[in-house]
Amino acid sequence: MKRRSFLTAGTAATALLGSRAFSAQQPLPAERGDYFLLREYQLNQEQRSATMGYLQTALVPAANRLGVSPVGVFEVAVGHTGNVYVLLPSPNLELLVNLDLHLEQDAAYNKAAQPWLRATSAQPAFLRIRSELMRAFPSRPGVVKPKTNGGKRVFELRTYESPSQAEHERKVRMFESGEYDIFVSAGFQPVFYGDMRIGERMPQLTYMLAFESFAERDRLWASFGNSAAWQKLSHEQRFAYDNIVNNIDNVLLTPAGYSQI
């Protein structure tokens, strides 16, 4: 990759996101918060093994060398079970926007990734890759690694879509006004909260919760819905609008053995 091409791509992305450029070594100011790149690798069963090997031996180590850490790798537990989600957090927006350009300059990555990168149309490595870029909620920057008792954790990735920017912002304020604390009081383990900056079906927000088991998940959601604090917050006049959220998607995930979250 020629330097001129790299700078052109970086400048265009910076203009799109309304931020000045930063190098991979220069973190964004602390008040800007963290950013999250979430990738969904859409796979058939024949592609799963090669992609999981690529993520473990090439992408995750290379991302760590760039300072992207911890990297979460999650397999879908219910539904499209061939798909894999990868969460890449960083305080450096420019690094995430230009991640693939940085990877091209990593010799160790290119060596480890060759079988996956050079897959042919006759035997493609994936069906599609869907990417979303999020900014952390101001009061909840970064990723919180969940506690575990040694068992295999369960994660829930939830996406809330709103019909307008104003109602999206109202839902974000609802989190800031007490919904975070109700989650924690109910026993949830929040991993991250992200406000979508580039993605499909905007405006939307996405967050992730961790559980010790599917049974614990069901029990905690029941506790949350019945809690007096949630009933009070959800009935406050400032949040009592029709369709503040008009669609909710949730995906249940389990971590790969090499996932850092």
Q: pTM (2 decimals)? A: 0.85
Above pLDDT 70, what percent of the chain? Answer: 85
Q: Is residue 162 part of a domain?
A: yes
Query: Is residue 8's pLDDT more than 50?
Result: no
pLDDT, position 147? 84
Query: Is residue 240's pLDDT more than 90?
Result: no
* Tens of pLDDT, residues 201-210: 999 999 999 9
What's the rounded mean pLDDT across residues 81-104? 95
141 and 241, same domain (yes or no): yes
Domain boundary among 97, 115, 135: 135
Q: Is residue 15 part of a domain?
A: no
pLDDT, position 139? 87
User: What's the domain range around 100?
Assistant: 33-135
45 and 110, same domain (yes or no): yes
pLDDT, position 6? 37
142: left (phi over 0), alpha (psi -120 to 50) or beta: left
pLDDT, position 150? 66
pLDDT, position 10? 44
Of 212, 207, 210, 217, the C-alpha closest to 248 is: 207
Give the domain CATH number at 72.
3.30.70.100
pLDDT, position 33? 59
CB of 233 within 8 A of CB of 178?
Answer: yes
106 and 150, same domain (yes or no): no
Q: 20-34, 99-113, 211-225 — which is least confidently predicted?
A: 20-34
Query: Is residue 19's pLDDT more than 70?
Result: no
Q: Is residue 200 part of a domain?
A: yes
Of 193, 190, 177, the C-alpha closest to 229 is: 177
Beta strands in 120-214 (DSSP E): 128-136, 154-161, 189-198, 204-211
Q: 9-18, 173-182, 187-196, 228-237 — which is least confidently predicted?
A: 9-18
Q: Is residue 21 part of a domain?
A: no
Q: Is residue 26 part of a domain?
A: no
Query: Is residue 20's pLDDT more than 70?
Result: no
Residue 97, phi then psi, degrees to nearest 5? -60, -40
Q: 4-8, 180-184, 213-217 — which is least confidently predicted?
A: 4-8
* Tens of pLDDT, residues 24-63: 344 333 344 599 999 999 999 999 999 999 999 999 999 9
* Tens of pLDDT, residues 111-167: 999 999 999 999 999 999 999 999 999 889 899 999 876 667 999 999 999 999 999
Q: Is residue 95 part of a domain?
A: yes
Q: Is residue 194 part of a domain?
A: yes
110 and 141, same domain (yes or no): no
231 and 175, same domain (yes or no): yes
How far is the C-alpha of 234 from the C-alpha of 220, rounded, in Å? 17
pLDDT, position 82? 82
238 and 129, same domain (yes or no): no
127 and 141, same domain (yes or no): no
130 and 186, same domain (yes or no): no
Q: Is residue 49 part of a domain?
A: yes
60 and 82, same domain (yes or no): yes
pLDDT, position 97? 95
* Tens of pLDDT, residues 218-228: 999 999 999 99
pLDDT, position 134? 97
pLDDT, position 17? 46
Domain boundary among 135, 169, 187: 135
119 and 192, same domain (yes or no): no
pLDDT, position 76? 94
167 and 108, same domain (yes or no): no
128 and 156, same domain (yes or no): no
Counted domains in the chain: 2
Half-sphere exposure of 137 (CA within 13 A, CB side): 23
Domain boundary among 109, 135, 161: 135
